[in-house]
Amino acid sequence: MSEKWARTVLKIYKAAGCAAYPLIGPYISYRVSKGKEDRTRRAERYGRSQIARPDGPLVWMHAASVGEFTAILPLIEHFLAQDIRILLTTGTRTSAALVGERLGDRVIHQYVPLDLLPAVRRFLDHWQPDVAIKCESEIWPMTILELGKRHIPQILINGRMSDRSYTKWKKRSSVAEALFENFAHVVAQSDADGERFRQLGARPVTISGNLKVDTDAPPVDPQELERLQQQIGKRKVWAAISTHEGEEDIAATVHTMLSTRHPDLLTMIVPRHPDRAEAIRAMIEAKGLTVAQRSRNEEITPQTAVYLGDTIGEMGLYLRLSQIAFVGKSLTGEGGQNPLEPAMLGTAVLSGRNVQNFRESYQRLIKNGGAKLVSDHNMLAGAVNFLFNNPEKLKTMTEAGKRTVGDMRGALERTLTALEPFIQPLAVKSRLDTTVVEPLAETDVAEQP
């Protein structure tokens, strides 16, 4: 595809978006009805806001959902310490709730506008950011082109390019180059990701490692942790976390398979999308298993087979209660989920084989003995059974996971170095804008000779 055709394709995309804009209302209404949009804030998806833009420099940071927000949280804290104002956008209700919990009113949170030209223009006209920083794989053509048209530097951090995305972009290499040339800098997670971005036209590209390694372990309420530990007692506990549809059924099946060998077994299921909890509970109960549901504040009794962790922001609690964690979106889903949080908390990591989005992390963990991949429910049951029957192997695996995470750290510092040319001038300007210069007293003025 030639450069001319690439520009034509993007113009058609832009025109199609403008034509579809008046018709997008029913789609948003549908998402509201399914609980995927905040009814009271739906206008933000059209680029509208009731919040005034603050004076001074403003950095727009975007994280699609919970995982991306957690990854950039240390960066946000660093910028806030430099008196830089942050406009933070996310795309999900769960991430919005977590932003409120972790940062409160220290940042301005908005839902990201739809990638349609009228919404993007309205958003940028209102906020007028000085810099735009996006996390991981957020490639939105209209937003990228409009930022480029306005000469607003845009940087992609913790950048990753999945096999599927790379294949698609490679078939449209001219379109990819017409978009990626607008990035002022791409900071990629791995050498493989960096090379893919370079081949698609991004310049410059540097490698940072994965920001998710440099985050703190997910927090926990110590009193709640102690309360649940008392309820669990000395039972063996394994968890299926960040599960997608079908994987909860697998976890419940594994529990049934192992319950005769481990009568005291407790299985925790923590779905990626808690709004599916009622359907998951019904499925588990249909198998004859007793469920205690976190959102209902139900206690874990000796009869409880499955603890359903259907709350937001409590992964630190669930992982600290478990000795083994199966990380989802890897058996019935595709791409995997982040294995670093369980590893850093000393939980043995099991996963399906579909972990393309976290390839480097899994490669490092597997090489060092901190993770194991399984192909189906039989292999998962076998791995859980083996680790519970071999506590020394379990200990070796958890120690290898923690050691691997420690060796992988350093991405935050490298990302800050890459961002410094864009952020430092804003930090200086912000401090100058807020500095009050006291007038000199007459006695401070030197007399003229």
The answer to whether 274 touches 310, Cβ cutoff 8 Å, is yes
Beta pairing class for 154-159 and 185-188: parallel
Instruction: Look up tokens 């859980």; give the residue.
Output: 384
In this structure, how many other beta carbons lie within 10 angstroms of the beta carbon of residue 24? Answer: 16
* Contact residues for 177 (Cβ-Cβ < 8 A; gap 6+): 3, 6, 200, 201
The answer to whether 331 touches 354, Cβ cutoff 8 Å, is yes
The answer to whether 132 touches 60, Cβ cutoff 8 Å, is yes
Percent helix / strand / coil, the chain, rounded to 5: 55, 15, 35
3 state DSSP class of 377:
helix
Distance CA(109)–CA(87), nearest Å, equals 6
* Contact residues for 198 (Cβ-Cβ < 8 A; gap 6+): 205
Determine whether 68 is an active site residue: yes
* Amino acid letter, residue 289: L
The answer to whether 354 touches 412, Cβ cutoff 8 Å, is no
DSSP state for residue 211 in the 8-state scheme? G
* Amino acid letter, residue 343: A
The answer to whether 111 touches 41, Cβ cutoff 8 Å, is yes
What CA–CA distances, in Å, run from 252 to 90, 266, 304, 412, 429? 32, 11, 13, 38, 56
The answer to whether 65 touches 90, Cβ cutoff 8 Å, is yes
Instruction: Report the first-to-last Cα separation within the chain, whole angstroms.
Output: 76
Question: Which of 68, 146, 248, 341 is the catalytic position?
Answer: 68
Beta pairing class for 58-62 and 85-90: parallel
Distance CA(70)–CA(92), nearest Å, equals 14
DSSP lists the bridge partners of residue 132 as: 60, 154
Cβ-in-10-Å burial (0-12, 13-18, 19+) of 11 comes to exposed
| Residue 31 C-alpha from the chain's centroid | 21
- Catalytic residues, which ones? 68
